[in-house]
Amino acid sequence: MEETLLRQANLRLAAGRAKATDLMPYLADALYAVKAIPSGDLPTLAIDGRWRMYYNPEFVLTTSVEEVAGAWLHEIGHPLREHGERFAALREPPERVPLWNRAADTAINADLRLAGVRLPAVKAWYPERVPGAREGMTAEEVYRLLLAGPLGRRLAQRDPALVLLPDTLREDEIPATLLCLTRDPVLAGSSTVEVLGADGEPVVGAAGRFEVRDPRGGTLVLNPPLPAGRYEVVLTHGTEQSSAHLTITAPSLTFRPDHLTRAREPAEKIVVVGEDTHFGPSSRVHVLHPDGRALDVVSALTPISATRLTFELGPLPDGAYRIRVRSGDEVVQAVLPIGLPHLDLQPSNLPSGFVVPVELSGQVDDLTLDDTTALAVLDDLGIEVDGAAGPPRLRGGSLVDVSIERPLDDGTYVVVLTTGEARASAPLTVGGESSPDGEGSSDSEDEPEQEQNSEDGPEAGSGAGAGQEETTDDCGSGAGGTRRPWEQDETGTDEDGRDDGSVDAGRGELIRQQTARNVLEHARSRGSVPAGWERWATLVLEPRVDWRKEMNSVTRRVSANVAGMRDYTYARPSRRAASVPHVVLPSMRQPRPPRVAEVVDTSGSISDEMLSRVHAETEAIVKRSRGEGVTVIACDAAASRPRTVRAMSDVTMVGGGGTDMRVGLQVAAQARPRFDLVITMTDGDTPWPEAPPAENPDARYVALLLDGDRTTVPTWMHKIVVEDD
């Protein structure tokens, strides 16, 4: 790695850390505990479980000091909030790490935005990008929303039937030999291979000799010419077929940011990110008018590396402009929309045969949404697909929820929002593989067709528009998952066996507690701490109470309250009745045991083992408090009648739908005689009543959460979180 580049990156990184300390001084202890390590093996920045932050020097040099400060504050949020440990506690399969990373990023970035922190101009995750998410949600809550979405369902599917190694090649790497691996042992000497183009037709001559090596593997010789694009390799074995996608790349450009709004600065810094490019001191950048003229609006051109350069863009009228980069004989261009309505859609890729309805979240720039805003889904011919989407549901002037109401065939569609004469659009792909961040290009439909400029000769890599720099949703093992290839080992020692200055678990906990104290002190003295950080600090410093002790305390209070309810009864005359002839005096009624009900979530989102263990211990607590046992009401989308069971294995599924514990609470409230204590055993992912049921408002209601905390539990219920033993 070039020493000058590394030295400049280190200086900017140091300036960014100092700026981060100015912005959020209460995180200073954590910021200066981190060890920064340069690495060219990751695209941006990441952090591991020992508080070592890895950074790509080229990426750092494309960002401002304010953006580097935001990156510092983002990365340090992962170990402070124990995202790695929290993902491990979920016991989820490793392929779901990217989804968890998105959820953790969403929670962190929402708080940083409230603090006025500026993040690098990549597609950062915020609550509005996750359908159903809102400010204040925990990472676990956002993760469950993502898991229920299209990408989460795709991850739950079986492994692909065919895998290509490699599955991405550059044009100049062909001819090439691909390794074809099948899930099942189906290959034989009669197996054949075809390469299909975007139109689904075989590309003549592309598939060369195919040699079967064993029943699960073979080699395919790929022949030129294959222009850049996306292809499908189809392997036929008898009457069965397996397929996989093959991507051929050519030099291309993306921009950061990928569009400029009307409220832009007079001079905007643009980062050009190349794919298979050769940027250098001789590189030149031209901004082309739609008529092909080069405009004099480029200044401060700075090549960073072979794939990154920056420049300042001067004032331009609104429109779509071609940005062309010439490096020797290599000419690459892409379109940058300026001041045009822009729609960012999430997710922008849906799997084949997706289940309807499916919710998408949209965010628009330079277009004000109102009650007149219309929504349409267009096919690749620009024809509206009838009934494809329901009416747009607005969440303010720039946010919208889109519901896809009918199945769509595989292909590319355009989602269009129109207000008056203005319209913003974004592509929606069905059946294609997602990019690592699940995103596609989101260029305005108003962009002009790109033309060849005969004055400058043929131009290679003329993309349809400027996408965002590809992200991988990977903030390192400090955000969740196992050690990444670019991370150092977990021993905390260098090559000579000496301490490398990283943070072990014990010191990490001390830093976490000190930072929490700093946060609360800053909140008391200045009151300028984002609510999410204040909640985090409170949870860190409050000791966790064993759920059994808390449940025992609540049950004993209910039992004592019931025992104190001694009332008059005429079922038996008072012993003092002889002193007042002709008058019937009531006697005092003796205390009764408390009546306890469990409303049990049987929707399948929590394990039978967890239910059985918690039920058995809850029943034991009730009996120790002089109770007679527990009555169970099974509930998912419907509720069963109250009944006494010996074990959770006796509880049967009801309703056959989702989770709505309001139904079970209503059944418990209507039961006679009335229950004194109603315990709801659930993972918390359910709608809740706004107030105690009117049929039994005096009972004590407890929400026993079996899968982590939930902020949605109403305040009139006593919330107890069952922690892992």
CA 305 to chain CA mean position, Å: 31
pLDDT tens digits, 485-535: 999 988 877 777 778 889 998 899 999 999 999 999 999 888 789 989 998
Tell me which CATH code domain 547-721 carries.
Answer: 3.40.50
To the question of domain 252-338 being in CATH 3.30.470.20, the answer is: no
- DSSP string covering 325-347, please? EEETTEEEEEEEEESS-EEEEES
Neighbours of 400 (CB within 10 A): 24
Whole-number Å distance between alpha carbons of 419 and 676: 55
To the question of domain 162-249 being in CATH 2.60.40.1220, the answer is: yes
* H or E stretch at 90: helix 83-90
What pLDDT sits at residue 453?
A: 36
Whole-number Å distance between alpha carbons of 362 and 347: 9
Whole-number Å distance between alpha carbons of 662 and 693: 9
Which residues in the chain come in under a pLDDT of 70?
1, 154-160, 432-472, 543-545, 563-591, 604-610, 613, 624-628, 645-658, 724-725
Which residues in 235-248 are b (16+ Cβ under 10 Å) and which e?
Answer: bebeeeebbbebeb
What pLDDT sits at residue 569?
A: 60
First to last CA, the chain: 47
Q: Is it true that 252-338 and 547-721 share their CATH fold?
A: no
Residue of 78, 63, 275 lying closest to 169 (CA atoms)? 275
pLDDT tens digits, 330-354: 999 999 999 999 999 998 888 888 8
What pLDDT sits at residue 269?
A: 94
What pLDDT sits at residue 460?
A: 38
* H or E stretch at 143: helix 139-147
Residue of 153, 36, 174, 80 lying closest to 537 (CA atoms)? 80
Each domain of the chain, given as residue ranges in start order, spans 3-156+472-525, 162-249, 252-338, 342-430, 547-721
What pLDDT sits at residue 652?
A: 64
What pLDDT sits at residue 161?
A: 78
pTM over 0.75: no
Whether the ω angle into residue 160 lies within 30 degrees of 0, i.e. cis, is: no
Give me the CATH topology for the region 342-430.
Immunoglobulin-like (2.60.40)
What pLDDT sits at residue 259?
A: 94
